[in-house]
Amino acid sequence: MQVAVFSAKSYDREFLGAAAKAARHDLTFFEPRLAIETVRLAEGFAAVCAFVNDYLNAEVLERFAEGGTKLLAMRCAGFNNLDLEAAARLGLKVTRVPAYSPHAVAEHAVGLILALNRKIHKAYNRVREGNFALEALLGFDLNGRTVGVVGTGKIGQVVARILQGFGCRVLLYDVYENPACRSLGEYRSLEALLTEADIISLHVPLTPQTHHLINAAAIARMKSGVMLINTSRGALIDTRAVIHALKEQKIGYLGLDVYEEEADLFFEDLSGKVIRDDVFSRLLTFPNVIITGHQAFFTRDALSQIAHVTMESVTAFEQGQPLTYEVTVERVRK
| Site residues, ligand NAD (CB under 6 A) | 77-78, 99, 102, 105, 151-156, 174-176, 178, 203-207, 209-210, 231-233, 257-258, 294, 296-297
Q: How far is the C-alpha of 88 from the C-alpha of 91, rounded, in Å? A: 5
SS3 301: helix
DSSP result, 240-262: HHHHHHHHTTSEEEEEES--TTG
- For residue 260, the minimal CB distance to ligand NAD (Å) is 13
Nearer to ligand NAD, 206 or 245 (CB): 206
The yes-or-no answer on residue 37 being catalytic is no
CB closer to ligand NAD out of 266 and 317:
266
Alpha-carbon distances of 268 from 2, 47, 235, 306, rounded to whole Å: 26, 25, 20, 21
Q: Which is nearer to ligand NAD, 151 or 255 (CB)?
A: 151
Please name the amino acid found at residue 147: V
- What minimum distance in Å lies between the beta carbon of 172 and ligand NAD? 10
CB nearer to ligand NAD: give 87 or 104: 104
Residue type (1 letter), 9: K
Task: From residue 58, give the alpha-carbon distance in Å to each of 33, 36, 82, 85, 257.
Answer: 16, 10, 8, 8, 28
Q: Which listed residue (96, 203, 233, 260) is catalytic?
A: 233
Is residue 25 part of the annotated active site? The answer reads no
DSSP, collapsed to helix, strand or coil, labels residue 31 as coil
Alpha helices in 68-119 (DSSP H): 84-90, 102-118
Q: Has 262 been annotated as catalytic?
A: yes
- When CB distances to ligand NAD are compared, the closest residue is 153
Coil, helix or strand for 120?
A: helix
Beta carbon nearer to ligand NAD, 67 or 78 = 78
The residue type at 262: E
Classify residue 278 by burial, with Cβ atoms within 10 Å: 0-12, 13-18, 19+. exposed
Cα 107 from Cα 111, distance rounded (Å): 6
Report in angstroms how near the CB of residue 6 gets to ligand NAD at its nearest. Answer: 18
Nearer to ligand NAD by C-beta: 29 or 298? Answer: 298
- Catalytic one among 33, 108, 294, 312? 294
Least Å distance between CB 234 and ligand NAD? Answer: 10
Active-site pick, 196, 260, 262, 312: 262
CB neighbours of residue 133 within 10 Å? 7
At its nearest, how many Å lie between ligand NAD and the CB of residue 187? 11
CB of 58 to ligand NAD, least distance (A): 22
Of all residues in the chain, what percent are helix, strand and coil, respectively (each to 5)?
40, 15, 45
Which residues are known to be catalytic?
233, 262, 294
